[in-house]
Amino acid sequence: MEIIRIIITSLASLLVLFIVTKIMGDRQISELSMFDYINGITIGSIAAEMATSLENDYMKPMTAMIVYGIVSTIISFVTCKSIRMRRFIEGKTMILFHNDCINQKNLLKAKIDIDEFLSQCRQSGYFSLNDIHTVLLEPNGKMSILPKVANRPVTPDDLSLTPTQELPSYNVIIDGNIMHGNLKASGRNEDWLTKQLHGQGVKDISQVILATADKDNNFYVYLKQDKSETRDIFE
């Protein structure tokens, strides 16, 4: 049947698309350059065509997907090795604002009008250009903002403090299951975990959706909540 064939080819195209994406790397998902964006759209279009095509020749679109994936991988490797190729393919950082001056030439080059520029500044938490020292447009299209020194957050160095470096917490229980590897990495064992749970009044581990522990002897438990709230606090 035609429906069954479409289901099978759809699953096959998803499998090939997943493999190609993994080969191309996580940047394809997180931070897209212009080339990655175009390449991703093209591969997705080929996959959709492969899934819905009424012809029986599936090798042509599959081969095209693989070729696009290989070319993208090669280009990613080349751009990692060559600064010139990286700047040519991915673009380079542009200064949009610096020392109370707006670079109109770079705004035009980036095709960003003043309203969009101000809007992106506001979305970054800056409602006045007087608070900003420099604005850069990154190759991925996002703006990086350097505030004036008087408006940046205070750091421990400013106060001559030397705080202790925080370390990541270990998820020792997830969905009622003990994560033995994480528990061992935190320097604890199951006896310690049991005592901590009893100390916080937890008798049934299946009711724990998450429990974390760190090197500073901090232990936090988050229980499942099955009943629904009668009132939404954000109403």
**Token representation of residue 49:** 């065509």
Whole-angstrom distance, CA of residue 6 vs CA of residue 226? 40
Query: From first to last of its 235 residues, what are the pLDDT tens digits of the chain?
Result: 566 765 676 666 667 666 766 665 544 444 555 566 666 777 777 777 766 665 566 677 777 777 777 777 787 788 778 877 777 777 788 999 999 999 999 999 888 899 999 999 999 999 899 999 999 998 878 899 999 988 888 888 888 888 877 778 899 999 999 999 999 988 899 999 999 999 999 989 999 999 999 888 889 999 987 665 566 555 5
Note whether 100 and 81 are same-domain residues.
Answer: no
Residue 22 domain-assigned (yes or no): yes
Note whether 77 and 98 are same-domain residues.
Answer: no
Best CA proximity match to 75, nearest among 46, 45, 47, 34: 34
Note whether 74 and 106 are same-domain residues.
Answer: no
Interacting residues of 218 by C-beta distance below 8 A, sequence separation 6+: 169, 212
- 137 exposure class (CB count in 10 Å sphere: 0-12, 13-18, 19+): buried
pTM: 0.57
Best CA proximity match to 90, nearest among 31, 14, 3: 31
Q: Domain of residue 130: give its range.
A: 94-151
The DSSP-derived string for 127-180 is --GGGEEEEEE-TTS-EEEEE-GGGSPP-TTTTT--PPPP-PPEEEEETTEE-H
Note whether 36 and 68 are same-domain residues.
Answer: yes
Note whether 25 and 65 are same-domain residues.
Answer: yes
Note whether 177 and 141 are same-domain residues.
Answer: no
Note whether 80 and 99 are same-domain residues.
Answer: no
How is residue 217 annotated by DSSP?
Answer: S
Residue 117 domain-assigned (yes or no): yes
Q: Tell me how many domains the chain contains.
A: 3
Residue 70 domain-assigned (yes or no): yes
Q: What CATH number is given to the structural domain containing 107?
A: 3.30.240.20
